[in-house]
Structure 1
């Protein structure tokens, strides 16, 4: 199962790369923009001996702030690049510390410096720039939210792409099909009055339903037929396997064995935790793959 999760994650990454989607390009520019970071190390000096090891990440924040537009100049932007940047920064910290409390603590300490810079009107390089997202560390589903927001950011590009990228129709379909599951999950979640932690951006982009775009694709009917055929084939094999089992084995397979059920519950918990880690390993590998492709053998020890 973990192997399947890994390869599915890697496959999604290559689709995003091949289509050169907006969010992918944004993150790639950040991953590869590692020049002249040392000029920001002085302001990040408090993290030099920190156990959280985020001096390089701090420098990335300062460089981005200095070179980005002021909030007052981005009123009519199609998407919130600041939210994308926050997801990217927290992702870098998460790569270092995982689900440990250190991830939230490190991001909190970085936010202290970050806020002091953007709130100072005398600091022309940073004032009125991107603010840190203080709620992100409290969202256990932050990676899913990131993936959903990435999709919303990519929507307009995908909509125009379907007209002139007919050779990539299958890839666009695969991408949208995956996001459709995520969209439906949050649409159901946000429609319930008891859920008050719906992503702020969902209401704004709720009309960007992947199903609508999917049905407009030239390859939609063809891909639907392929999926139906695949489902029948899988079901046929599953039935054949079941018919070939002794009665006791069938009982165990169907989950009537209480010992097996208990084991499955425990396994589910373990696999859920492992899957979370596996997905982020995909992210780490894809960063390394891109560095090898775009930067040759040059090594950048950025995140120190």
Structure 2
């Protein structure tokens, strides 16, 4: 229950940022969430209606198939980011939202059902460009820390737009500074497991993300010095309040 609540608050925190609609992950998820004319694939996803919140899961599946029909992924790996990974996380996150409170034990079987529908759709409808079509990534459902991995990859794909936003709108610097700073715990979570390079413990994309470690990039933000001075000035008053509480 607490994990679900924390995930929701993190998502709301990200979406509350000024110009959050410029973030790559937000734009991609919005594109999926607002897909129209997906009802033609409701029948292919009909088996999912037997699940708790089945109609909503069916719509997620139908949107997925509509997206696969209209969008392809480069076979030359020349996309800057792995949108196929984000697509898989979008599906898994929706299942988590729809099933966690109803029956969390159904999340893994539900992903398996969508995975079967997904692969069958590629074989039946997209044979000519199957190598350019995003496929289900079965392993993500086996990661106990998939929420952390999802959050880390979203931060990675969003970092460049964050920098551009701060450059163009300097008044957003403090807000985005705190947002970047909040990702320190993600890097702390993966730091030790990723020493082994074991993909069961460490995401494959971790090395790409290291360059945006808050420990390395926060000092580059234009408001870093101001925030450090602000915190230094506030420290004595905080200490005084603590001492007064103790007394």
Asked if Structure 1 and Structure 2 have the same fold, meaning a TM-score greater than 0.5 normalized by the shorter chain, the answer is yes
Partner of 2:95: 93
> Which deviates further from its counterpart, 149-158 or 209-218?
209-218
Mapped partners of 2:126, 2:183: distance in 1: 43
Q: Provide Cα deviations, 1:164-220, integer angstroms capped at 9, x if missing partner.
A: 221211122111111233223322331257885201110233223233332111110
Partner of 1:149: 153
Compared CA separation, residues 117 and 126, structure 1 to 2 (3 A):
farther
Partner of 2:86: 84
CA contact (8 A) 1:86 1:132 kept: yes
CA contact (8 A) 1:118 1:127 kept: no
Instruction: Say if 2:172 is the partner of 1:171.
Output: no
CA contact (8 A) 1:90 1:107 kept: yes
Q: Which structure has the larger Rg?
A: 1
Mapped partners of 1:52, 1:107: distance in 2: 14
Instruction: Say if 2:46 is the partner of 1:42.
Output: no
CA contact (8 A) 2:22 2:161 kept: no
CA contact (8 A) 1:66 1:125 kept: no
Mapped partners of 1:227, 1:192: distance in 2: 37
Identify which of structures 1 and 2 has the higher relative contact order when contacts are C-alpha pairs closer than 8 Å and 6+ apart.
1
Mapped partners of 2:229, 2:186: distance in 1: 22
Q: What's the offset of the Cα at 1:91?
A: 0.8
Compared CA separation, residues 8 and 112, structure 1 to 2 (3 A):
closer
1:1-304 correspondence runs (5 A):
10-15=12-17, 17-18=19-20, 20-33=22-35, 35-51=36-52, 53=54, 54-72=57-75, 75-98=77-100, 100-119=104-123, 123-124=127-128, 128-192=132-196, 196-243=200-247
More helix by share: 2
Q: RMSD between aligned alpha carbons?
A: 2.9
> Please, what TM-score do these two structures have when normalized by structure 2?
0.83
Q: Provide Cα deviations, 1:215-259, integer angstroms capped at 9, x if missing partner.
A: 11111011122234445433332221122xxxxxxxxxxxxxxxx
> Please, what TM-score do these two structures have when normalized by structure 1?
0.69
What SS class does the counterpart of residue 200 from structure 1 fall into? coil
Return 5+ residue gaps in structure 1 as ranges.
244-304
